[in-house]
Structure 1
């Protein structure tokens, strides 16, 4: 609303009440607003009078990629008699690298040394991370050597950035070399370190390499986390054919559940696993997975139950889907309206009036407890199911049109080439 006077008053009130409330993130918000209002000089002038805010002000401009404004703050800082410290320089380094101005970042590093402000481990880390993100990993390795010569010890974060860079750009062997160097230096790799290598193996569909890597993690006491498990689950679902592979997948997932990693954000992994098992006709294994989830006491909401029931239904196991729907309601979870509608349609085809009546009666009771009419619930289920069906039909038609378009393009291209030859 451009009420900047009120903003300054609020900042002053925050400072009086609790100065810790005025964080760097607050200044990012302020800088964004001032920049959009074209009030750069006023922002610098207003905050410049509060000399303790210079560093945060500079950080805010760098975070927003406004490097000219950041340089102006630096000039103001020097004119006010302050000598820029390592925090100021690192903010500028981060700003330069964020917008890809690596030459300016290296010039700033030399300027720091000329002004007797020796680069810190953070300074070198900023440069290494930026170089690794731009496929300049060998330059990043040279910065690492410079870092060590300067007396700054590289930590796990630095080595992980290097491993990430090499793996991202398809140089997995170099990633392993850096990993060996990390261990030889006496550092312990963490889950993120290994994850970058595993993601590279996932791209190449190297399941055995991933399994071996998890074994190496366990040997050094690095317990796999959710991201590691997800890679194994995704890759096994994609490649799983033999019985042994599926058993390994289920064992991995059970371990993941046992460590408490299954919650709502991970339901996508659950859906992928269940559908993959059922498509491979591994119903008993699938039931074993669900039983493990239940017995481990995982808090399952309606979406988890829906994933399981719909997976069964979609893969031709309608009776099992109905049975687990009853289990869901016994657990106090009411099915979504479209789930109920889908099961009722299936039961009508199966002529199983007994189970249909049992499910209907329980749903009717649960609806009454939640102060909703069964008639509205049933109507909403039919409507949602019809809308999903229509959406799938539209998607199918769009894919058909796209495919037809691609065929036309290929035909036209061939025709043009033929014309070219005849001409």
Structure 2
């Protein structure tokens, strides 16, 4: 699969801007002006058809940069080829990213209109994954979620697709993800008779009980199902083991693991062993974690990124950062790419041991691979740099992210502006502040007041008036009192 890094290199030519430049151009494009002419010049149809992963990569980059929702929608609609015979970009992932952007901004009517349009023009795009993204809209209560599920069912039916256990599972999963397992149980009892029997909805409810942290309730529900004839599968065992592990009952999870191995219909998978490795980390037993990891080969299993991350986490929990870093080196040697989880765990461990130099070296390594960290990792790094009197490192990270078209969260701006102003780097703080306002984002009052005070001390009256007017305009455009 083509990665954003590869795309950035292959797209960079005198005739065609890189993916970072395209993201920047789209992000800074005024919402009041039509986007299609810009897209036509930046993203020719030939590019979409020749690089299927380009579109989801670009949409993901826009989401990271908090680009206006309308930009993602227009980009997705622009990507739909007018002739079905043309090669398609990765429209399934792109649709999910677009719906996520819309639902996050609570544009549910737009989501439904888009899906209604696709039910007639691209019915193959309607999937349980798409349904899950639709139902994940924040602030939906129980009746509203069921109503949205029913409206989606009609749209799917219009496309000739009947809801089944997978779609039912998507509904239940939404409730437990929100921490509302009681509502998930209520939805199950209300709707289960409409769908053919499948262990997936039951396992999803077990997941909900596990997420609630109430292991006793999970066991009660599980044993009630068994008395009515339910036969657990490998997923069921994995859920119960994970529940025990997360509650520090690692030995109980190992007993379940042994019981599972005696059942003919329960296959031990990478996920199963990874769950136990994670559990060993929770009880600070890295030796047990390493033993389970090494036994994977004996079971014919090849460790994946999740298994490596779980092992790395076990060493981090035990404050053995040297071994944790060796696991990352092992991942790289086996060509298993690290992700934000990998970096975040190591940064947390290094931060806990006050190893600022180690954090900086790991950050430099991350930058050299063109990796774009997620918001939580950005915030962790920015807070660490600024609290330790190194806003210059925070500024360097800021410039790196902005150069990639990824604008950090406004809370990261709070830390950076405050730290820079305390060090007398007021002009750099002003530049970062402008990076945010130039793309229509509203900085916090904290960042504004700190910068205003520092500019006042330097008698930069023109810049004070400028940022004051900008803040008033931004608040007015969003109907927020200034």
- TM-score, normalised with respect to structure 1: 0.58
Alignment of 1:174-193 (within 5 A): 174-193=288-307
Shift of 1:34: 11
Measured in 2, the distance between the counterparts of 1:124 and 1:267 equals: 36
Q: Contact 1:277 / 1:285 at 8 angstroms: preserved in 2?
A: no
1:340 is matched with which residue? 448
Distance 1:276 1:187, change over 3 A: farther
SS in 1 for 2:363: helix
Is the 2:277–2:307 Cα contact (8 Å) retained in structure 1? yes
Shift of 1:275: 1.8
| CA apart distance, 1:173 | 0.6
- The residue number in structure 2 matching 1:271 is 382
The question of 1:311 aligning with 2:454 is answered no
For structure 2, list consecutive stretches of 5 or more residues without a partner in the other structure: 1-140, 176-180
- Alpha-carbon distance in structure 2 between the residues aligned to 1:322 and 1:34: 53
Aligned-partner SS, 1:101 = helix
The alpha carbon displacement at 1:56 in A equals: 8.5
Corresponding position: 1:251 with 2:364: yes
Displacement of 1:253: 4.8
- What per-residue deviation string (whole Å, max 9, x for no partner) do you get for residues 116-142 of structure 1? x97643344344334434544445445
SS in 2 for 1:213: helix
CA distance 1:310–1:300, change in 2 (3 Å):
same
Between Structure 1 and Structure 2, how many residues are aligned? Answer: 319
Corresponding residue to 1:363 among 464, 467, 473? 467
Q: Which residues of 2 match residues 387-406 of structure 1 at below 5 A? A: none
2:238 equivalent to 1:125? yes
TM-score with structure 2 setting the length: 0.52
1:220 to 295, 317, 334: 334
Q: Distance in 1 between matches of 2:226 and 2:198?
A: 17
Q: Paired residue for 1:324, among 407, 429, 440?
A: 429
Asked if 1 retains the 8 angstrom alpha-carbon contact of 2:312 and 2:324, the reply is yes
1:260 counterpart (350, 363, 372): 372
- What is the Cα deviation at residue 174 of structure 1? 0.7
Name the residue aligned to 2:107.
Answer: none
Higher helix share: 1
More displaced stretch, 133-142 vs 173-182? 133-142
Q: Deviations over 1:360-395 (max 9, x none)?
A: 24325535765859xx99x95xxxxxxxxxxxxxxx
Q: Is the 8 A contact 1:65 1:99 kept in 2?
A: no
Residue 63 of structure 1, CA deviation: 5.4
Alignment-derived partner of residue 19 in structure 1:
162
8 Å CA contact retained: 2:245, 2:276: yes
- Report 1 or 2 for greater relative contact order, CA contacts < 8 Å, sequence distance ≥ 6: 2
Q: C-alpha distance in 2, partners of 1:223/1:61?
A: 29
Could you say if the C-alpha distance between residues 102 and 185 of structure 1 is closer, same or farther in structure 2, counting changes exceeding 3 Å? farther
Q: Which residue of 1 aligns with 2:217?
A: 99
What do you get for the CA RMSD once the two structures are aligned?
Answer: 4.9
Give the equivalent residue in structure 2 for 1:295: 403
1:101-250, aligned counterparts within 5 Å?
101=219, 105=223, 108=226, 120-151=233-264, 152-240=266-354, 244-245=357-358, 247-250=360-363
Task: Check whether the contact 1:325–1:335 (CA below 8 A) recurs between aligned residues.
Answer: no
Deviation (angstroms), 1:158: 0.5
* Distance in 1, Cα, partners of 2:323 & 2:222: 40
Unaligned segments of structure 1, at least 5 residues: 67-95, 381-423
**Runs of 4+ more than 6 Å apart:** 33-36
Q: C-alpha offsets along residues 165-203 of structure 1, whole Å, 9 cap, x if unaligned? A: 222122221111000011343423233323333334333
CA distance in 1: counterparts of 2:170 and 2:445, whole angstroms = 43
Bigger Rg, which one: 1
Partner SS for 1:99? helix
